[in-house]
Structure 1
Amino acid sequence: MSWRPASVGNEQRLVAFLCRDEVRCAGASARVKAGERGCTAFVEEAAGAIRGALVATAAGLVLPVLPEGIGDRLGLAGLLGGLHMPVHSIGGPETGVAAVESVMPLPPTTRIEYRLMQLARPAWAGAAVHASAAAAAEGVRVRRSGGADAALLFPLQRAYELEEVVIDPALFSDAACLKLLRQGLRTELVFHATRDGRPLAKAGTNARGYGVDQIGGVFTVASERGKGLARIVMAALLEAIFAEKPAACLFVKKSNAPAIALYERLGFTTVGGYVISYYGI
């Protein structure tokens, strides 16, 4: 067994490996599918078969796909130590992340645990079931977001990142946030709700795999929470996803009871744990 960069010769086998249980590795498969710049995929093979994979991004994010655990521990440790960008974070199903953590020279400085949830097209009840007559009566409108909506949605994206994503607020950058938002509006499915032109809630994909889209960035402004806005925006997003893909997934902090309740009302079920470990912050 040994780890090596994925090549053109085994690309099809890598895709088949990722798609065996894509809900658990949508972040990795989406990057392979898109050919993300600066992103490298590695595979561990045994007897000509892929038994593990790892995707490393230019930003230092490592996404392990290790359904059978690690075979070549020394090889993986050497691979991680030789990456062009030092490991900044590790994200994925909890068993895979724990396996990679075990060969890192130091423990993570921050570790956040989530639920991994999925919804398959056959279990989707349809957007009409989740419509809100009250929101419609108040003039709330939901539509797909586009590149021209970056300025409109930036306050929501900024608030979302500071509340749900950023570990150290001192490291937050408005410019970086806006850049990523613009990129997402070009490449992802994003929907938002407004009233009188004011943005109230949003939801979108953050990884578009082969047969699974991963959802993220679900956010409602604090003054509008509890009114069902996230539910109708999510419903619009799921309709768009299921027009193209058979499944959707997301991960949500285990402590976020209101969000978990929302996703369960939409039909999502928990399939396991998900972890993001950070190094140096």
Structure 2
Amino acid sequence: MQAANCPDAKALFLQAQTFLLAEEKFNCALMQRILNEEESVFLILNTDSDKKDAPCPVQIAGVFSYNIGKSLSAFIPDMNEEIKKELALFFKDKKIHSITGESSCVSKLEAALCNVNFYKERRARELFLMEQTCGAVCKPAFGVVKECSLSDGNLLMPLQVAYDTEEEISPWKKIPPAAERMVLDKTLRTLTVFGIFYKDTFIAKANTNAQTKNFVQLGGVYTKKEFRGKNLAAALVCAIAYKARAEGKKTILFVRQKNISAIRSYTKAGFTLAGNFKIVYFR
């Protein structure tokens, strides 16, 4: 069921928030879409026949988001045979370019949908979820930590392009510069971006990419290669986490499991390992 099109949409979105709350840290982007009551949010429902006269006579069995970019993220605690059939029916005429979420949930989703769509290639990215469990103050070796605004877009753009290229944000597909700039400008307008300003330009950046009532999800961390190993990433992460704590929120981030240097940097900034996350790309 598409939550936004339900007559009791408000009640359903509130139920979905409660349903996802225990796993919110793994599903910040999904929770943000629920909070915004977006049309990309779908619910898997168990109808309670004993409460047909109630304003919202349903029980949520799962929630997922499927957007125009054909990206799927979901929280489905009990992937039973009935739910597998419902998912297969829903996606039988739809393409999926990526599945994101807690590792075991992604594996179950992929298994449930393996016979629905055929893809020639698959690429999986294994990540750690890290959560800041103690506040830390990290100062960069040089430069100034600055909270960025829309007017900083031109100076930040080279870092954005380099980040997308190095991290392979969209495997098998090159993102047009105009699209990258639109994403950057939207991030500067609606989220939080910090940069290290040095000699009239930015040499490192980091931003939030999702915010909920309880968590801030951090991403887009990038430092120019010639400035790495100078505590710049840790300084940016600390700055964003400090702002989040002032708002009563915890900070999380994802890091590739093989990126030992980044894990060390985030550990210095007070982050600890909190779980496994996976992104699977298809084409």
Q: CA deviation at 1:191?
A: 0.4
Match for 1:259: what amino acid?
A
Matched, 1:90 2:91: no
Per the alignment, residue 110 of structure 1 pairs with: 123
Per the alignment, residue 228 of structure 2 pairs with: 225
Aligned counterparts of 1:163 and 1:28: Cα–Cα separation in 2: 25
> Could you tell me the TM-score, scaled by structure 2's length?
0.87
The Cα offsets for residues 246-265 of structure 1, whole Å up to 9 and x where unpaired, read as: 21111111111111111122
Aligned counterparts of 2:223 and 2:43: Cα–Cα separation in 1: 38
Percent identity reads: 27
Aligned counterparts of 1:266 and 1:209: Cα–Cα separation in 2: 21
Secondary structure at 1:21's aligned position in 2? Answer: helix
The Cα offsets for residues 165-216 of structure 1, whole Å up to 9 and x where unpaired, read as: 3354652311111110111111111100111211111111111122111111
Aligned counterparts of 1:101 and 1:235: Cα–Cα separation in 2: 35
Aligned counterparts of 1:23 and 1:68: Cα–Cα separation in 2: 19
Aligned counterparts of 2:29 and 2:233: Cα–Cα separation in 1: 23
The worse-fitting range, judged by mean Cα deviation, of 70-79 and 231-240 is 70-79
Matched, 1:250 2:263: no
For residue 73 of structure 1, the aligned residue among 84, 102, 106 is 84
Q: CA deviation at 1:116?
A: 1.4
> Could you tell me the TM-score, scaled by structure 1's length?
0.87
Runs (5+) with no aligned partner, structure 1 = none
Aligned counterparts of 2:156 and 2:175: Cα–Cα separation in 1: 17
Aligned counterparts of 1:97 and 1:170: Cα–Cα separation in 2: 22
Q: Number of residue pairs matched? A: 264
Q: CA deviation at 1:235?
A: 1.1
RMSD: 1.9
For residue 206 of structure 2, the aligned residue among 186, 194, 203 is 203
Per the alignment, residue 21 of structure 1 pairs with: 23
Q: Which runs of 4+ in 1 moved over 6 A?
A: none
Match for 1:270: what amino acid?
L
Q: CA deviation at 1:95?
A: 1.0
Identify if the C-alpha distance between structure 1 residues 273 and 76 changes in structure 2 by more than 3 Å, giving closer, same or farther. Answer: same
Matched, 1:100 2:103: no
Asked if 1 retains the 8 angstrom alpha-carbon contact of 2:103 and 2:276, the reply is yes
Aligned counterparts of 2:274 and 2:180: Cα–Cα separation in 1: 30
Per the alignment, residue 50 of structure 1 pairs with: 60
Runs (5+) with no aligned partner, structure 2 = 49-57
Asked if 2 retains the 8 angstrom alpha-carbon contact of 1:144 and 1:191, the reply is yes
Asked if 2 retains the 8 angstrom alpha-carbon contact of 1:31 and 1:39, the reply is yes
Aligned counterparts of 2:85 and 2:239: Cα–Cα separation in 1: 46
Q: CA deviation at 1:236?
A: 0.9
Aligned counterparts of 1:167 and 1:186: Cα–Cα separation in 2: 23
Secondary structure at 1:152's aligned position in 2? Answer: helix
Aligned counterparts of 1:199 and 1:228: Cα–Cα separation in 2: 15
Per the alignment, residue 182 of structure 1 pairs with: 185
